[in-house]
Structure 1
């Protein structure tokens, strides 16, 4: 029987191999949409950090949060992405994205055990900013549905990477685990401040 870590690794690998499937689409707009959507979340440090932190937070909280927190993020992000594609504005998008890195890093670094509903609501709020950024930057030739499928898949893969990272850290001894989590969360929060102030 495969361990949970092996299953996570397999799923993550499948997600990263998925771009080759884009070329099975007949339509150029669909191919462009999927590939650009897949690339968008990994093209910026702010998105990558936030997505991985969502996964680490989900692992840290455990239980229902393990699936509910990432699922909430991806679902809300898709809805906000549609708003961005339609040209409906959302205020403070860049500040919201940077703030998500600061807050999620702080939650992880300080080991704050928020109730699952609160954690899901918080990541849902941040997903509005991330999703709107993805949607508003859709290439003109891209197909909206395949573009959305691409950025949802890439974000989910980064969440899985965060969960796998959390499991890896969790396999260390208690003092080491606490130190690594504090350090990782603190560094992420500092990076978020750098993003917010434009220093990064």
Structure 2
């Protein structure tokens, strides 16, 4: 049975290795598409917050959630991206993205102990909105496959950052770690309200 620290190390290593694999066979056109796809989600505050929160939530749940929750997000984000690329409409995309930051921030702040299946379902639903937005905004000249790999790798990296954040906070000290986690989740949820209302 792996300890929580060992599971975290394995998850973080996987997140670090995924970008390395993507760089292994770049190719000229694919490099342009990959980098464009990689930079696109990293440039959006809403996506960055949601992805880091998914990773932190996975860390808090522990066990199989370390892999299952981020994998559910990545899989359904790819589906949402395909819907966006093919211009299939998904209602309330911007609202869903803002709500993802609010709900995930609140989940992290309250250290909710949801069943893994429920956590996967919630993050998966939000992932469709994020994926659709990125697929819809994909430039026509970008190589679609390389672009998709780029934003999936960027998302996985942000998940890894969220896991690392959760791990570092937990290592610091349980008492202060809880305070920092609650404060961070609350600030993220408030940012989500700002995105929802258009203030941010």
Contact 1:8 1:164 in 2 (8 A): no
Sort the Cα spacing of 1:137 and 1:18 in 2 relative to 1 into closer, same or farther, 3 A: farther
Q: Distance in 2 between matches of 1:32 and 1:88?
A: 25
Match of 1:80 in 2: 80
Match of 1:25 in 2: 27
Q: CA deviation at 1:173?
A: 2.0
Q: CA deviation at 1:143?
A: 1.5
Match of 1:175 in 2: 175
Q: CA deviation at 1:22?
A: 8.1
Q: CA deviation at 1:17?
A: 6.5
Q: Distance in 2 between matches of 1:53 and 1:141?
A: 32
Paired residues, number? 195
Output aligned runs, 1:146-161, within 5 Å: 146-161=146-161
Q: Distance in 2 between matches of 1:9 and 1:61?
A: 15
Which secondary structure state, in structure 2, belongs to the residue aligned with residue 142 of structure 1? Answer: coil
Q: Distance in 1 between matches of 2:129 and 2:49?
A: 14
Q: Distance in 1 between matches of 2:16 and 2:75?
A: 22
Q: Distance in 1 between matches of 2:112 and 2:16?
A: 30
Output aligned runs, 1:130-149, within 5 Å: 130-149=130-149
Q: Which stretch of structure 1 is more off in the superposition, 88-97 or 5-14? A: 5-14
Match of 1:193 in 2: 193
Is 1:59 matched up with 2:59? yes
Q: Distance in 1 between matches of 2:55 and 2:139?
A: 28
Q: Normalising to structure 1: TM-score of the pair?
A: 0.90
Is 1:117 matched up with 2:121? no
Contact 1:56 1:163 in 2 (8 A): yes
- Runs of 5+ unmatched residues, structure 1: none
- Runs of 5+ unmatched residues, structure 2: none
Q: CA deviation at 1:112?
A: 1.1
Is 1:71 matched up with 2:71? yes
Which secondary structure state, in structure 1, belongs to the residue aligned with residue 172 of structure 2? Answer: coil
Q: Distance in 2 between matches of 1:65 and 1:125?
A: 16
Q: CA deviation at 1:170?
A: 0.7
Q: CA deviation at 1:32?
A: 2.6
Q: Distance in 2 between matches of 1:67 and 1:23?
A: 25
